[in-house]
Structure 1
Amino acid sequence: MGSRASSLLREEDIEEIKKETGFSHSQITRLYSRFHSLDKGENGALSREDFQRIPELAINPLGDRIINAFFPEGFAFRLYDLDRDDKISRDELLQVLRMMVGVNISDEQLGSIADRTIQEADTNGDMCISFSEFIKVLEKVDVEQKMSIRFLH
């Protein structure tokens, strides 16, 4: 499997990808091979159907919503904006949280999580999370994640 992928990738391409991503040679060839095994249309792009064949997404209760996020009409924001009104309400947040955790958390605990999330993200006071508010939260998470990684290294 790895040998097929490395034969399709030129060594200079692998070196360039290593510089840009920090991935190792074996990680790159493994990812390249996995991509080609998923690319049933053999056109260098993964279709919705290709994503749907990934077993981990097929069993994930949010699998369809995750797949939709990879296509132009979808963003990660759309995973939560169930009614497509360009804002995430408390009820929408609760529905998605319930899909993610099942019955492992009580309704009261989920309500508390939803309330706290909206309180932290909602900057204009409309009790919903707009796309711009969502982006600000993601940027904050990204910065905190980067700081954690630097600290660990």
Structure 2
Amino acid sequence: MGNASSMLTQYDIEEVQEHCNYLFSQQEIVALYNRFCQLDRTAKGFISSDEFLSIPEFSLNPLSQRLLKMVDGLNFKDFVAFLSAFSPQATPQQKVELIFKVYDVDGKGRVTFKDLLEVLRDLTGSFMSEEQREKVLGQVLEEAGYSRESSLYLEDFMKVLSKAGLKMEVEVPVD
């Protein structure tokens, strides 16, 4: 399975299924493998950031640069594990954990007002002024029981987002 151009064996499929907590069927894993091989244009066994950016939905995402830090250099097994957070069978906790990693800019296991502001800046671009972003973010934190000085840890993030009814799903087309 190290070489992207090789064929998946039944053992490989089962190993990948176990690695992604059985959130994808065997048929979906084969479809994902075919897509992985298409993206891995040089057949080196992993996908580079440039190859990820060839996916229109990915490149158009305002958070694509943050996501690139998480996905650059993924092998097939880790590619499927990353996508598993988008599976309809993924738990809200699995989805929030991925979002938390996107917001945790410095990777220290906490999200600060500054981190949230950076992500909001990426999402809103020139549509909001810095002052508007700070005001909105301050109000959202206050309504959730936090202040600008608060650091949100994963548990806090779960509490705030659990009420949001997340819809993070990707459909894996299988032929």
TM superposition score category, shorter chain reference? 0.5 to 0.7
Partner of 1:60: 61
Equivalent residue, structure 2, for 1:93: 116
Give identity over the alignment, percent: 31
In structure 2, the gaps of 5 or more residues are 74-97, 166-175
Q: Aligned-pair distance for 1:37?
A: 1.4
Contact 1:62 1:99 in 2 (8 A): yes
Larger gyration radius, structure 1 or structure 2? 1
Aligned to 1:31: 32
Q: Distance in 1 between matches of 2:122 and 2:112?
A: 15
Is residue 2:70 matched to residue 1:47?
A: no
| Structural RMSD (CA) | 4.5
SS at match of 1:60: coil
Question: How far, CA to CA, are the matches of 2:150 and 2:7 in structure 1?
Answer: 45
Instruction: Report the structure, 1 or 2, having the larger helix content.
Output: 1
Shift of 1:139: 4.4
Q: Structure 1-normalised TM-score? A: 0.55
Distance 1:138 1:47, change over 3 A: farther
Residue 94 of structure 1: CA displacement? 4.3
Task: Deviation per CA, 1:110-129: give whole Å up to 9, x if none.
Answer: 6665124433374xx6x245
Residue deviations 1:92-142 (CA, integer Å, cap 9, x gap): 5345335425688899986665124433374xx6x2453xx2322344457
Would you say how many aligned residue pairs link Structure 1 and Structure 2? 133
Q: TM-score, normalised by structure 2?
A: 0.50
Structure possessing the higher relative contact order (Cα contacts under 8 Å, 6 or more residues apart):
2
Distance in 2, matches of 1:20 and 1:109, equals 41
| 1:66–1:79 contact (8 Å) kept in structure 2 | yes
Aligned to 1:134: 153
Inter-partner Cα distance in structure 2 for 1:29 and 1:113: 44
**Taking structure 1 as reference, are residues 129 and 27 closer, same or farther at Cα in structure 2, changes over 3 Å only?**
farther
